[in-house]
Amino acid sequence: MKFEPKSSVGEGLPHMGFNTTVVAEPRKSMDADILENASEPQVTEEDEIVFVQGRRFWYITAVMSILMFLIFLEIPIVITAAVAVTEDLGGLDIVGWLVASYLLGYIGVIVIFAKLSDILGRKFMLLVSTAFFIIFSAACSASQTFIQVVVFRAFQGIGGGGCYSICTIIIMEIVPPEKYTKYVSYINITSALALLSGPIIGGAIAAHTSWRWIFIINVPLASIAFIIAAISIPTGFPYHGKSKHNQSKNVRGSVPKTMLDRADIPGAVLLLFATLSLTAGFEEADSLFPWKSAYVITLLTASGVLYIALLLWERYVTLSEKLREPVLPWRFFINRRMMSILANQFLLGGPAFIGMFILPQRFQLVYGLSGLDAGIRLIPFSFAIPVATIFSAVLAGKKKIPLMYIFISGACLQIIGFALLGTLPVEPDIPARMYGYQVIAGWGCGMNFSLLTIAIPLVIEGRDRAVGMAAGAIPTHGQHHSTIHLDFSF
């Protein structure tokens, strides 16, 4: 069977380092044949993406930059201010939940919101997510107990995860494929700058004012992004301009039943509870409960059962010819290239967040530095990440170096850098070589920061781009598993 795509997603992009030519196979399995035809969308003129141009393009780019900056700022800014929060409200024994609760909300909805944006529209879901982020950022700043902060952080994470999910999709739909590398790299510079400035901003706030400002600063900036998005993003984006593409579907009561039938609600519920059980189990283990406790064992066992049920359900939904769209298509799990990207993000994404979490705490607890000083001492690590991001984008985009070689190089530098950091003794003075080790580790993290995201459209079908970008983006998968990495690092 000969298949000729309407356009090549990978046109103008760096290749993965292996043959990507589609050839006809003499024999095909039954699953492969069903997958090819299951839920196949009818490509019509009004299904084509209309790229935004002119002033509106720059307004949307500004929205993406602001939201991505705030989302990436949330982890490092809170980490360096964590000590100040616990000194005011208590909760030092469960301080890990200050980050973990945000990640629980974040990772619990990121794929679900991506699929909902396919059904309800990118603009509507972005506005909903931004509103969540604004409201619960304000709630975090007004918290009177540590438990309140943790609870509101979880809801703030829902908004942050939704914003990141939709922004990642919009970034890949606002420009044609041949401009992916350049545009994604520009946006990721904003994200990397947040990782650089977060520890310093958080430390400065903790040292000179109330920790509550780490949440208050989100409100005006995110509100500006909300207003610009409401005005500049076309209704029906990215299929606007061809026809009135579901213009009224965002109003409660006006969503057609056929649209609700498309939502994979059982899959979304299974994914949510499986993720929550796994993350909560690892967070509570050896903290409030021992590893062998019934509580921890129950959570981890439940997560395993739920993930198995999720895989079986998604296989059934994908292979069936019903209208329902799977939240995690089975096509991902039989695509070795997609699975290799996910595996790389699991292994390479977590260490970056471990470095941003452990190093500031070492500076404060071992060397007795303030939060601001700890943030400044982290600059070699956090500054190396955006510089390496730009460097790797140049290698892939202009020099056409296969992504596989860049991935391997970044992984090797991560291993070397973190291994050297692990050899540092506990002593009252900071050894000078520690800053060099931070640069090596940060450079390795930065080399894979954006390229693993750029690689995703090269290995999946166009109909799966939204879910694929959400499930496979580095911060998504890396932050998902960074909670697990952090638990093992203590």
226 in the same domain as 172:
yes
Phi-psi domain of 390 (left: phi exceeds 0; alpha: psi -120 through 50; beta: other): alpha
206 in the same domain as 281:
no
Q: At what angle do helices 180-208 and 336-365 cross, to 10 degrees?
A: 20
Residue 246's CB is within 10 A of a number of other CB atoms, namely 18
293 in the same domain as 146:
no
Q: Say which DSSP state 45 is in.
A: G
Q: What are the percentages of helix, strand and coil residues in the chain, rounded to 5?
A: 70, 0, 25
DSSP structure string for 380-424: HHHHHHHHHHHHHHHHHHTS---HHHHHHHHHHHHHHHHHHHHT-
Q: Are 380 and 442 in contact (CB under 8 A)?
A: yes
320 in the same domain as 451:
no
Q: Look at residue 286 and tell me if it is in a domain.
A: yes
DSSP structure string for 288-339: TB-TTSHHHHHHHHHHHHHHHHHHHHHHHHHHS-SSPPPSS-HHHHT-HHHH
Give me the residue label for tokens 């062998």. 292
Reported as half-sphere exposure (CB side, CA atoms, 13 A), residue 27 has a value of: 1
User: Considering only CA atoms, which of 202, 195, 196 is closest in space to residue 81?
Assistant: 202
456 in the same domain as 400:
yes
Q: Look at residue 29 and tell me if it is in a domain.
A: no
Which SS3 state, helix, strand or coil, does residue 429 take? coil
396 in the same domain as 275:
no
Give me the residue label for tokens 């900056």. 69
Q: Look at residue 389 and tell me if it is in a domain.
A: yes
Q: Look at residue 147 and tell me if it is in a domain.
A: yes
d(CA 402, CA 21): 15
346 in the same domain as 453:
yes
Query: How many domains does the structure of the chain reveal?
Result: 2
The per-residue b/e assignment along 4-22, b for 16 or more CB within 10 angstroms, e otherwise, is: eeeeebbeebbbbeeeeee
Q: Are 453 and 469 in contact (CB under 8 A)?
A: yes
Tens of pLDDT along the chain (490 residues) come to 443 344 444 444 555 554 443 333 444 444 444 344 444 444 443 456 778 888 999 999 999 999 999 998 887 788 778 878 888 888 777 777 888 888 888 877 888 888 888 888 899 999 999 999 999 999 999 999 999 999 999 999 999 999 988 998 898 888 887 777 777 777 777 877 887 788 788 888 888 888 999 999 999 999 999 999 999 999 888 877 655 444 444 444 445 555 566 777 888 889 888 888 887 887 777 777 888 889 889 999 999 999 999 999 989 988 886 667 787 888 888 888 888 887 887 777 777 777 877 888 788 888 888 778 888 888 899 888 888 888 887 887 777 788 888 889 998 999 999 999 989 888 888 899 999 999 999 999 888 877 777 777 777 776 776 676 666 554 444 445 555 555 555 5
344 in the same domain as 317:
no
236 in the same domain as 375:
yes
273 in the same domain as 167:
no
Query: What pLDDT, on the 0 to 100 scale, is given for residue 41?
Result: 40
d(CA 486, CA 354): 6
User: Considering only CA atoms, which of 473, 481, 482, 479 is closest in space to residue 452?
Assistant: 473
273 in the same domain as 309:
yes
300 in the same domain as 166:
no
Asked whether the bond before 238 is cis by omega within 30 degrees of 0, the reply is yes
Q: Look at residue 43 and tell me if it is in a domain.
A: no
Choosing from 303, 324, 345, the residue where a domain stops is 324
Q: Are 341 and 455 in contact (CB under 8 A)?
A: yes
Choosing from 285, 302, 324, the residue where a domain stops is 324
What the block records as the tokens of 476 is: 């998504």
Choosing from 277, 303, 324, the residue where a domain stops is 324
Structural domain span for residue 77: 51-243+335-489
Q: Look at residue 32 and tell me if it is in a domain.
A: no
Q: What is the CATH number of the domain that holds 171?
A: 1.20.1250.20
Alpha helices (H) in 121-252, listed in sequence order: 122-141, 146-173, 180-208, 213-216, 218-232
Q: Look at residue 21 and tell me if it is in a domain.
A: no
Q: Look at residue 320 and tell me if it is in a domain.
A: yes
